[in-house]
Structure 1
């Protein structure tokens, strides 16, 4: 039988382990895992299964009967790669590869592959490479030799000549040190860029949400930017910033961020913290949800959990956007619209058709106007540094000289006021 050898024939397994307290609904979990695999152009997903287990077997993950049954299926279908939607230990990976004569990749490895394929900026590439090396460091088996052709991203992913990096932990540690130095330089540059933006007192609005919720489509509609917006998980990995003038409101900087996902590997949360710093500095966080997804409530909880882990507190102004209402049936659509009428913090929209966008923009303007307040400050002649800082921030509305110094009226945010207090 002839197959397209430019793609790797893959099979997706979602282990549903009864003893796992964090287990997800099997159907949606398997669909998400297949969508993850489909996000890699190198893979041809030819099959998928939910495998129910009372508990994970330490050596092989699955029981002997299930291993034999699956092995026959993989052999008949000429499967080359099995993607297991969950954690797989190095021992389990090595044993399963021998038993099935295929390559094994777990959920963390797959997400790392996708991140390496999607990262575009220098910072994104460095962050992915560091996360991948940290992941590989714990493994004595080769994780990525199933993809033979070199592609963009990490450079070493799938490279048959890079096995020494995977095997030699000392080499990995040395490489990590070099990457951290490079990353620090990149982060310092981004800090300077943020400082430059701070001089122009535009509020920052950050779009956050579960991956594939429609953030990039909404971003494109609001800004006219050609950001990658596909029906694909992790389509956006690097933050994209654009200036937007709100109707009858302030000018803002809109930030499109990487989508969140359940069970995001801890290595990646740490590695992408700098990318998500735009969220930490935002004046307003807009949580975009795919309200048509059957698992939308669980996705929303995952987003909230990750935001909390990043240090975003409940006091940060925010809005919730129920996107993709154009995909709902009549009853669900009416229920969603009725809920948004009761809750002024929720907006039902379609980023594709534009429905509900005007109301959302109007509320964003109201929220951001409220985020700035007017204060009157009294500064002595000796406090020239503070006075200069206020003018650099472009928050001064008026200034009057007195016998002892200056009386200055400012329009600023709580964050700017806190920064001023620390000078």
Structure 2
């Protein structure tokens, strides 16, 4: 059963304009967004190879695409939602979606993913629409990729290659670029096919049909050379990433020594994580209505309503079927989540299937060992979400806060929830601190939560919750403190 799916795309015209730096809006990261859009892909300038088997040696150029997915389980609505998400991914990569097809099967065809008959139908659709690329909603094996390309006679890529291409476009820092390149090479390595049939294979003796000496071709030598170069490059990238992670480890270690609690923002891509960071801290990081707009982690200082300091980290968004290569390559970046004492799990309340978003994110959190960290579910985009959907999510997630990062609705309730759940305040103290120990009072305000404070003749009377080490320093003043 083949079900059509179409997607319309409006194209905005970029304009050059002069902008006063004073007009920069920290809530949208507008200058960063304009800088990203300053250079755009120009279609129709590259010289295409005529042999489709050479595609691994060319950069992905996505222009006019047809989507195809295999519906193996779940409902038809779930299958269509998955294809709609694939359309958003394709548009984020810079392509125009012409058509979408869903094939109902018990499992993907091991040869052509959708079966030989449907592959022939797909070829007719490609010819009729003038598409130059087919994108499959799943990860294809090397043999499936090759057989499907041979049938449809245009470039075929899968969901993993598409996500890797988006990451390559959005990576800005040196570490982000290295992580993406490592993931791309890991994906490419088992899919090398040399230069198709243009080079002969190494054979000899009977395998060469009796030709023997002189029957050996250079084909396998070329493939092995490419594999060796890729493995060497991957080893170099891993060494570079190990060195880059030391700086982040040093910063995290300094925060631990100062007992500054860490809060990480995690969630589905385009759920509004960066907007939430901007709303809570005024960080001014890039905000764009696009998938995977944030790849490089951003850490900012924030304060609770009671004045307690903590760090807030924005992280890369997750997606259904996130490629394993990306999870491994971005493991150092995702350490911001694993080292956090509290996770703000942001979910898009206006999404067609927010429960699937929650499960997809928690699957990745389990993979990186962060599933045991306390979390607050932040149901974002309340201004655009349906009331029934929000009520359903609140019943499913009792420990949740409904907010709108765009309008500011619910932000104060979220700050209060963060303050209540921040880790590290295991000791409650009552102490009369002499005025010559103002440094201790300052630490209590900086690292703890002051419940009550009163200035007396002999010093400052404090009732507060503080970390264990600070409680030890206050212990000698606790004996002389009257009941507060």
TM-score category, normalised to shorter length: 0.7 to 0.9
Please list, as runs of the form range in 1=range in 2, the aligned pairs for 1:260-339 lying within 5 A after superposition.
260-314=318-372, 316-332=373-389, 335=391, 339=394
- The 3 A distance-change label for structure 1 pair 24 and 310 is farther
What is the DSSP-based 3-state SS (H/G/I as helix, E as strand, rest coil) of the residue aligned with 1:319? strand
What is the DSSP-based 3-state SS (H/G/I as helix, E as strand, rest coil) of the residue aligned with 2:426? strand
Q: Measure, in 2, the Cα distance between the counterparts of 1:324 and 1:241.
A: 23
1:5 aligned to 2:44?
Answer: yes
Please list, as runs of the form range in 1=range in 2, the aligned pairs for 1:112-261 lying within 5 A after superposition.
112-141=164-193, 168-261=226-319
- Deviation for aligned residue 1:411: 4.0
Tell whether the 8 Å contact from 2:261 to 2:311 is kept in structure 1 after alignment: yes
- The 3 A distance-change label for structure 1 pair 12 and 218 is farther
Q: Which has the larger radius of gyration?
A: 2
Q: Measure, in 2, the Cα distance between the counterparts of 1:48 and 1:30.
A: 7
Q: Measure, in 2, the Cα distance between the counterparts of 1:318 and 1:13.
A: 36
Tell whether the 8 Å contact from 2:66 to 2:131 is kept in structure 1 after alignment: no
Among 115, 128, 137, the alignment partner of 1:85 is 137
Q: Measure, in 2, the Cα distance between the counterparts of 1:32 and 1:136.
A: 24
What is the DSSP-based 3-state SS (H/G/I as helix, E as strand, rest coil) of the residue aligned with 1:372? coil
Deviation string 1:218-274 (CA, Å, 9 cap, x unpaired) is 111112122221121111111111111222231111100111111111111111111
Q: Measure, in 2, the Cα distance between the counterparts of 1:36 and 1:188.
A: 33
Number of the residue aligned with 1:412: 467
Q: Measure, in 1, the Cα distance between the counterparts of 2:225 and 2:264.
A: 40
Deviation string 1:43-76 (CA, Å, 9 cap, x unpaired) is 2222222222343222222223212221111112
Number of the residue aligned with 1:347: 401
CA RMSD of the aligned region, Å?
A: 3.2
Number of the residue aligned with 1:152: none
1:365 aligned to 2:419?
Answer: yes
Q: Measure, in 2, the Cα distance between the counterparts of 1:22 and 1:108.
A: 23
Q: Measure, in 1, the Cα distance between the counterparts of 2:93 and 2:326.
A: 18
Q: Measure, in 2, the Cα distance between the counterparts of 1:268 and 1:294.
A: 25
Q: Measure, in 1, the Cα distance between the counterparts of 2:424 and 2:398.
A: 17
Q: Which runs of 5+ in 1 are unaligned?
A: 144-163, 377-390, 397-409, 418-423
- The 3 A distance-change label for structure 1 pair 303 and 27 is same
Tell whether the 8 Å contact from 2:270 to 2:317 is kept in structure 1 after alignment: yes
Count the aligned residue pairs: 359
What is the DSSP-based 3-state SS (H/G/I as helix, E as strand, rest coil) of the residue aligned with 2:239? helix
